[in-house]
Amino acid sequence: MKHELINLFNKILTGLIAILALFGCKSSAKTPSQNEIAEEPVCVYGIPTSYYKVHGVVTDQSDKPVEGIQVQVFMTTDGNKPEDEREYDIVFLNDADKADDGSPCVITNSEGKYDANGIREFGSPIVKVTFFDPMNRYAKDSVVTSEPAESQSGSWEKEFEYVINAKLKKAAKKQKNK
């Protein structure tokens, strides 16, 4: 009888541990910078997560703001590799628009400003931001940086801010063949 109770107790404990493993990740979390629900699960096993804001202003060569530029954010943790060997992953942003190729982007407003908030990553990524003009007025450009300005949030989950401004050059005019 005593042996049967111990076996039953072990089975109950095993079941509880399995249930905890299945529900150890909550299905939604609020980012500290926005009151929006994240679409991906957040692990709650004690892994520090960092939140990122990427924003800036896009201007032309004469410092006039440029509206309608598609801005995409990519991140990598391949910091030990040369720039041309790094593999960047596109960041899926909250409330993102769609670029011409269907990937997520944010679009500059009439003041040339863009905000890519609600980014959550592990580690200290290198950020690459690309700027594309769907009307082909300006040449495509990109900026790579690994130096965020750290904000003073909690010691466990940090919030970082990247201010990345871009000055776009006019697109080269295509010559007509005669």
Confidence category of residue 75, pLDDT binned at 50, 70, 90: confident
Confidence category of residue 110, pLDDT binned at 50, 70, 90: very high
Q: What is the mean pLDDT of residues 110-126?
A: 77
Confidence category of residue 44, pLDDT binned at 50, 70, 90: low
- In a domain, residue 124? The reply is yes
Per-residue pLDDT reduced to its tens digit, 3-16: 888 888 889 989 88
pLDDT, position 24: 63
The structural domain count of the chain equals 1
Strand pairing of 50-60 and 166-168?
parallel
- In a domain, residue 19? The reply is no
Q: Return the CATH number at 121.
A: 2.60.40.1120
- In a domain, residue 3? The reply is no
Residues forming beta bridges with residue 4, ordered by sequence position = none
- Say which residue, 76 or 32, is predicted with more confidence: 76
The SS3 assignment for 117 reads strand
CA distances from 46 to 30, 152, 169 (A): 17, 20, 45
- In a domain, residue 53? The reply is yes
Using alpha carbons only, give the angle 70, 74, 78 rounded to the nearest 5 degrees: 160
Write down the mean pLDDT value for the chain. 75
- In a domain, residue 7? The reply is no
pLDDT over threshold 50, residue 166: yes
- In a domain, residue 173? The reply is no
User: What's the whole-model pTM score?
Assistant: 0.63
N-term to C-term CA, the chain: 98
What residue numbers bound the domain in which 65 lies? Answer: 25-168
- In a domain, residue 58? The reply is yes
- In a domain, residue 54? The reply is yes
